[in-house]
Structure 1
Amino acid sequence: MTPAQSLLRSATGLNLSKAVVDRAIKNRMEQTGIGDAETYLQQMQPEELTALVELVVVPESWFYRDPQAFYAMSEFLRARLAADSGRLARILSIPCAGGEEPYSMAMVLTDAGIPPDNFMIDAFDISPTCVARAKSGIYGRNAFRAQDLSFRERHFSSAGDGDYRINDSIRKQVRFKQGNLLEFDLSARSGYYDVVFCRNLLIYFDKPTTKAAIAKLEALLADDGQLFAGYAEVPSFCQHGFAPLQYNQAFGLQKEAAAPHKPPRAARPPAKQVAPRAVKPAPTPAPVSRSRATPSRVAPAARPATDATAGANPAPAVDLLAEARRLADLGDIKAAERHCRDHLAQHPEAAEAYFILGLLNELTNKPKMAEDYWKRCIYLQPDHYEALCHLALLAEANQDASGAAALKARAARIYKRQQAS
């Protein structure tokens, strides 16, 4: 890992490829007039670090994205208020990107008849630009991708030039702040939130950072609260003290201690860490989204290499796919790819090798090749949950809403079966 990668990882927690970081630094060097990368890093000030972070954190969100989670939240809070009408429900959205998620929460709760005095939403994002955009409350057409746009008639007014401004009655229900989950001070917020939305953040973290982030979220969430994650992230939460809720396609979770007792299941082998997805930098200075690291199934071990010399002991077995993941985490994409291909030479139908090749091609900004490899993976292993999740995210990025929905539903069915087995 280069010094620049380490710097940005310390600042954001994100696993960023060398290519992404180098492009961002080159952009900032052109903006600041500094001609040498080493000098640029040595002269780094907090304000410049913030500007650099903006180039590697591109938010991708829209109103009512994966709406089942919002309706599950509404049902949960309505039941609570039925038992205690004076209760204030505290809700957290992190990361909140440009505000589409927390504003969606406020609209859903308002439409469900929950009085404004009974809920308050805190929304945090690492990007000051995202927070400023959210506070402005003005959105273009790209933020409205839901099939049913009736909410826009109820809660927005025209801002001219095809833009829309969210109504003040919704804006006042959300408090936006700049902040990093990994740096949260928990002293005043332990068990503070009844509902936490943290969707599509952990997919950008490596295994240790994921564990640290989940520990923060667990501390923030009330013992009887509910958390909603991205569909690719549910397995990570279930490995660290959470249990899934039975809302269809909402990807809700609760603390394991609060879950109804179930008979113990046979232990399953721990999932291995896979290479993270790279964050794609914006072509011009603009706020950015977060990178993907999901647990994968344990791949079959590679055949052991043997010494052809008579009487020699066999060489120890080499797990080529485990080594490919390790090399990818270190940024050595070519060597990681070579290990995958060596594994495929021995095991031509190894779905996991194609899955990792897909991740490697996504890291190098080749989404079409990544898609082809993931399709090969699910052809060979139709229940490969992680490949389906990655294909769904790719479909979303290509604005293929129906394709993404079908892939998410398929992944959800597979995950439910895996949990039941």
Structure 2
Amino acid sequence: MFELKPTINALMRSKLGAVLLILQLAITLAIVSNAVSIIQDRMTYLNKETGYPEDDIFKFNSLNFDKQLDLLQQVELDEQSLRGISGVIDAVAISSVPLSGSGSSGAMQLKPEPQESKRSTMGYVTGDEHILNTLGLSVSEGRDFNEADVVVIDESDARPSVVIVSRALSDELFGAGKGLGETIYWGADPLSIIGIVETMANQWPKSSFGEKAAIIPMIRVGNFQKYLVRTAPGARAQVMRQIEELMLLSHRDRVVSDITGLDQKKARYDAKDVLMMRMLMTLIVVLVVVTALGIFGLSTFNISKRTKQIGTRRALGARKSAIVRYFVVENALICTVGLMLGSAAAVLLGQKLMQWYSVPALGYSFIVVTASLLLVMSLLSVLMPALRAANISPSIATRSV
């Protein structure tokens, strides 16, 4: 039998150390469980499929200074030059780059503005009939754009009439598995959904609408133009080295900049998440180590304070296992109180983080697993001091003051 009452009485005579350890365990559980939950959520996001062959795609910018230049003609010439490079699968002038954290967003709705209707926020990109192939996407339902679908925005009143959307956007507006052939409204402009892509992240993949994307067959040219190029696997680096020289050969009165892989753009967009994960991992390790050292230190201190008591018990015939069990039970009591307080604190902290920073709700499984690991760690931390106490010689202990 563990004789809990004498153990509790002994703890009440030396409350300060026990209270400090209880607080340390509670704080550790509250912070670690929430940190692990956030790390798990970020890991899920970082490993999520975007739909694009990121390692085979790169982008670059072209800034023209020639005011007399026919910009539309130059864009078409640039696209043809890019598609003629060995190793290039396709290329397109694009309004913004997916996964980059920058671009255009808006809402698609079921009725034209200003009428009230169901709507969904999404990110969109524009380009010609080569855009889907350049992005490495394919429609699971419907068809791709053709040349007749593409509208050039200039002085005319022409507006696009068709759109390709992601499955997430279609399901949000029309229900699961529906949407092909339906009409949605981009502002007051009706767009017929001619194709649906199963997985297509937009420019902000970690946002609440990161999977809702639309591609609009529209060209709006300007002095500053973005280009996207998809190469055969393994050919991207070689092609990227040729871009600046090729573009300047076509037209020298320009600056070519930011030749960057799509995977690199996403890595920059995700840099804060990766840094946060590393900081949280470091925090977890520090807290766990400090807590383990605290348990070890308190147990060692208690043993040094009770040397005479332990020696007396040994002299009266107490077994070594009884001494070890005493300190293990004492530690288990402290841990139980600390982990109960920590569980309540973890739930409260999780609710505040969800309210302040829009992190996912803390799952109770994280609290249970973290508490179990802390309990095991606590018992292991007290084991060495307890074994040392059990080996105290009765004769030495009874002579100590």
Relative to the length of structure 2, the TM-score reads 0.21
Relative to the length of structure 1, the TM-score reads 0.20
Find the structure with the greater CA-based Rg. 2
